[in-house]
């Protein structure tokens, strides 16, 4: 997925609009945000459930709410940002790139995702 | 990793990537290495294809007199690889060593290894966290498959796993993007 300049601009614009929407409206009250289809179908929380509400909380500086709605984001977002950075800086920092794309990180992500899915469906949010 | 080729209707091998460079391979030459279910063409094996496409010209015309098997006329009349001695008795013979002085050899095999294809790990985690359905998780598992196959030297397999990971991410994102307006319309209709 090589991104051209136009695509980056379009994705950036869409991102800004979405951020504004998530800032202005609370997904747990406003009726027009899409509910998680996995939750709708199965009744169980998927690893991504609550991300919209968490984003709303974060945009309002509510860190407690951020963790409450989807705690995996606390680890997941920095992880994704670090991997994205390592991919962009592959030429300059090849060792950082191979470290972030190693099987340790992949295994960590896989275990974290599975663990989080099981955990959050057994125990209620811990904060 | 070792490669086998079929050249002039004859199976030859095993060769390292560097040894392969001394044969007049084309993109259509059948090639096989461990892990492949069947013979494929050179164009389908990334690292061999890379080598064929970036081959220095001098490899096909080795200097005379450096190889005892090749006479002056023979080398002039035919490409070197056609002069294969009967190999049944010595199947693991390294072919044509000494054809070229060391300086004329193509770059070491390390330079011919293609870059590892993207494993889309970041995209996979992002898809898992942002979207629905456990498709991002499938992509995470394909990400490790890319790494493992690449490390084993199965570059074609790594490329395939990379494409699979990309496919799952695209599926996940597409479904998410379709779901958004769809659910919005339903909710708006429900409020009427």
Q: Per-domain residue ranges for chain A?
A: 5-30+47-122
Chain B interface includes A87 (CB < 8 A): yes
Say yes or no to pLDDT of B97 above 80. no
Tell me the residues of chain B between 91 and 110 that have a Cβ less than 8 Å away from chain A: none
Written as six digits, the tokens of B56 are: 């220095």
Using CB atoms, which residue from A35, A37, A47 is nearest to B129? A47
Read off the pLDDT of residues A24-57 as tens digits, 9 standing for 90 and up.
Answer: 988 888 777 888 888 888 888 888 888 989 999 9
Tell me the average pLDDT of chain B. 73
pLDDT tens-digit readout, B104-119: 334 344 556 778 888 8
Total number of domains in chain B: 2
B159 pLDDT above the threshold of 80: yes
Same domain, B103 and B140: no
Domain final residue pick, B69, B86, B112: B112
In chain A, % helix, strand, coil (3-state, to 5) comes to: 70, 0, 30
Mean pLDDT in residue range B35-46: 83
For chain B, say whether A122 makes contact (Cβ under 8 Å).
Answer: no
Instruction: Verify that B106 and B138 share a domain, yes or no.
Output: no
Q: Are residues B45 and B107 in the same domain?
A: yes
pLDDT band at B133 (very low <50, low <70, confident <90, very high): low
Share of chain A above pLDDT 90, in %: 45
Query: Are the C-beta atoms of B75 and B64 separated by less than 8 Å?
Result: yes
Q: CB–CB of A37 and B141 under 8 A?
A: no
Contact check, Cβ <8 Å, B129/A80 = yes
Domain that holds residue B14: 3-112
ipTM over 0.95: no
Q: Write the Ramachandran bin of A62: left for phi over 0, alpha for psi from -120 to 50, otherwise beta.
A: beta
Does residue B82 belong to the interface with chain A, where contact is any CB pair within 8 Å? no
């Amino acid at each position: 997925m090589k991104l051209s300049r136009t695509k980056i601009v379009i994705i950036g614009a869409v991102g800004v609009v979405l951020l504004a929407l998530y800032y202005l409206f609370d997904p747990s009250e406003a009726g027009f945000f899409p509910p998680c289809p996995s939750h709708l179908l199965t009744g169980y929380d998927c690893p991504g459930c609550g991300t919209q509400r968490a984003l709303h909380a974060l945009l309002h500086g509510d860190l407690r709410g951020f963790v409450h709605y989807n705690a995996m984001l606390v680890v997941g977002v920095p992880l994704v940002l670090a991997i994205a950075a390592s991919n962009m800086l592959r030429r300059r920092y090849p060792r950082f790139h191979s470290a972030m794309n190693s099987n340790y990180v992949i295994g960590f992500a896989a275990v974290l995702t599975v663990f989080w899915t099981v955990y959050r469906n057994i125990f209620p949010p811990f904060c | 990793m070792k490669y086998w080729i079929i050249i002039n209707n004859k199976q030859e091998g095993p060769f390292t990537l560097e040894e392969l460079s001394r044969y007049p391979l084309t993109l259509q030459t059948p090639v096989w290495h461990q892990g492949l279910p069947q013979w494929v063409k050179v164009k389908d094996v990334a690292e061999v294809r890379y080598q064929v496409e970036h081959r220095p010209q001098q490899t096909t015309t080795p200097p005379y007199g450096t190889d005892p098997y090749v006479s002056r006329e023979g080398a002039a009349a035919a490409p070197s690889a056609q002069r294969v001695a009967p190999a049944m008795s010595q199947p693991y013979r390294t072919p044509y060593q000494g054809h070229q002085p060391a300086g004329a050899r193509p770059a070491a095999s390390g330079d011919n290894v293609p870059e590892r294809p993207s494993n889309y790990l970041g995209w996979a985690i992002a898809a898992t966290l942002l979207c629905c359905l456990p498709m991002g998780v499938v992509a995470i598992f394909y990400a490790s498959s890319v790494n493992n196959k690449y490390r084993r030297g199965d570059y074609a397999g790594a490329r395939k796993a990379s494409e699979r990971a990309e496919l799952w991410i695209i599926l996940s994102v597409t479904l998410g993007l379709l779901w958004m307006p769809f659910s919005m319309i339903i909710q708006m209709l429900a409020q009427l």
